[in-house]
Each structure stands twice: as C-alpha cells, then as structure tokens.
Amino acid sequence: MLYTDRLNLTGPLLEGFTFPEGTALFVIGDVHGQAQALRDLLDGLGRISTPGHKRVLVFLGDLIDRGPDSYGSLEAAWCEAASRGRMDEVHFLPGNHELLLAGAMDEAARGAEALGNKSQAACWAMNGGHAFMSEVSERFDLKPQACPVGTMTQFADSLRRIMPEGFLEAVRSWPSHYRVGDVLCVHAGIAPKKPLCDTLNLSQQSHWPTTLRDRERSDRHWAWIREKFLAWQGGWPTSGKKDAETGLLVVHGHSVAPGASLRKLTDGPSLEKVLCRAATNGRICLDAGSSRNVGVAAMVMTAEAHRLAFAPCVA
C-alpha cells in the first residue's frame, strides 16, 4: 500500500471549498477485475484511523471486465468492503461497464433478436467483457457455443447463478453521482459550461443511444464523457452557473490518469504526481490503470486532511 502526504487542494473555484466535519469519505476508483488489489486496498483503508468520524465508502464503478477476477472484485466490493474497510456506509455508482453488462443481461433475457452486432452485449464483449465471460466459462466448464448469441445466453444464465444476491437488480438503482459537501463523485465526469443537472439527471438507459436524442446526449453522459471533461480548465461551479464564486472538486475514474501505466508508482510523491495532475482543473482522477494491470487507487478525505492511497496489482 502506498499513501500520499496531505494534499493541498488548488484549482479554479476551490478557494471556498468546504467539507463537513465528522465525515470521513473514502472513494475507490476503477477496479476492472483486480480483486486482490481491491482487497489489499480495502484492508489498508481499514487501518486508517478516523476517530469520531462516520466512515463512508463510495465506489466509482467499473468493478468488472478486462482483469483476471471480475467475480472476485464484485464479491469483495459487495460482500466484504464494509468489514475490511471498517465502513459505516458503502455506496455504489455504476460505471459504463456495469451499465453495458446490465444492458447485455436484459438483451439476453429478451432473446436472440436483441443480441445483434449493434447490441450492448456486443459492445460490452469488445470492451473487456470477454475476460469476464472467459472467467465464468472456466468456472462452469462451459463448452464454446457456435454463435455469439448462444455464447451470451449461456453466459447470462451462468452469471445469474453466481452473482452476489441482488447485485444485478441493485445496479439499476445505483445513482449517477454521490455528493458530500463540495466533493462530487461521478464515474466519468460532467459536461463543462452546462448546469450540473444537465449531466447528472441523465438516466442510466440514455447511456446507450437508440434515438437521435440519445445520441446527442451520449457524448456528455456521466458514464462515458471524456475529452470535453478532461480538457476543461474553468472549474465546476456549485450552482452550475458561470458566475458562481465557489466550485466542486470532482472525483472521477473512467479515464486512466496520464502516466499511470508508464510511471512506476513506488512512493507517495509519484502517486500524487500521477493522480493529482488534474487537481489544478478542479478534479482528481482515481483511475490508476487497473485495466492495464497497474493498480487500484482511493482518495481519503476529512475536513482536516486529504490524501490518496494505492494498491498495486499482483503480478
């Protein structure tokens, strides 16, 4: 486990940044099937002392896909996080990978006509879902099917048998964001130069463009937004209005922090340099390259101090 020293928050509109006393917020970024790194991180967070604080944990999404143990990641997050991290509350936000999986499972339930080349199932498989499918197939010693439709249907039936109870149903109830004081947690980000509600009120279902209106929204969806959000330098007004004097610190994942897969994260300063390069833009990125076998990152925040934590992937 690596930890940074206390972070100094600087950036546009953050001069009046506030965070409630008595709350310790723990935010975990993208996991992507790195179950052992997640368990190591949770154990490390559990060792952080926060006397007198309510301990609140938020997962930013993308627990699954690409890595070696998506099921173990779900199990650790869903069943073990509260005890390992000594948390009073655990909250989940959906990433684009959870949304694609949920959509794929819905399509599989509707039958072959819903599982075409432009389906969520096809998109999910191409974006890392194949690793999860292979994991489940190996677990159940499933024989390869002759067509993608058969493969997805077989996977869906098997997955329902092993998923933590209530998980798939719960994904559909997870919110777009979680806010504490002036900290806004969201999977991918928010659209600049627009009211917060313009992004955060978008439904889960609208992440997948089936109409022209959906396509117009998809590039600013909280589960997918990338370039416009990452490039913005003007801060994130708390009111959503351009003339606001105070802003939010946006804590997000989805886009691997620049340098995370190139720089060796071996100490606190290197961790801070990689994950906090964006802090001057009013945001902190907690995607530390789990999809590239680097590690899983977290932020720890109280009214008194802020720091980062990191657990490397097991080789």
3 state DSSP class of 28: strand
Percentage of the chain beyond pLDDT 70 is 87
pLDDT at residue 98, as a whole number: 94
Lowest mean pLDDT among 75-84, 204-213, 304-313: 204-213
Q: pLDDT band at residue 120, thresholds of 50, 70 and 90? A: confident
Write the DSSP string, 223-250: TT--HHHHH--S--BSSS-TT-S-B-EE
Instruction: Return the CATH number of the domain spanning residue range 2-94+175-312.
Output: 3.60.21
Average pLDDT, the chain: 86
What are φ and ψ of residue 295, in 5° steps? Answer: 175, 180
- Strand order across the beta sheet in which 183-186 lies: 177-180, 183-186, 249-252, 283-285
Parallel, antiparallel or unpaired: strands 183-186 and 177-180: antiparallel
Domain map (residue ranges) of the chain = 2-94+175-312, 96-173
Span 249-295, pLDDT tens digits:
999 999 998 878 766 788 888 888 888 765 668 899 999 999 999 99
- d(CA 282, CA 234) in angstroms, rounded, equals 8
Q: What is the pTM (predicted TM-score) of this model? A: 0.92
pLDDT in tens, 41-56: 999 999 999 999 999 9
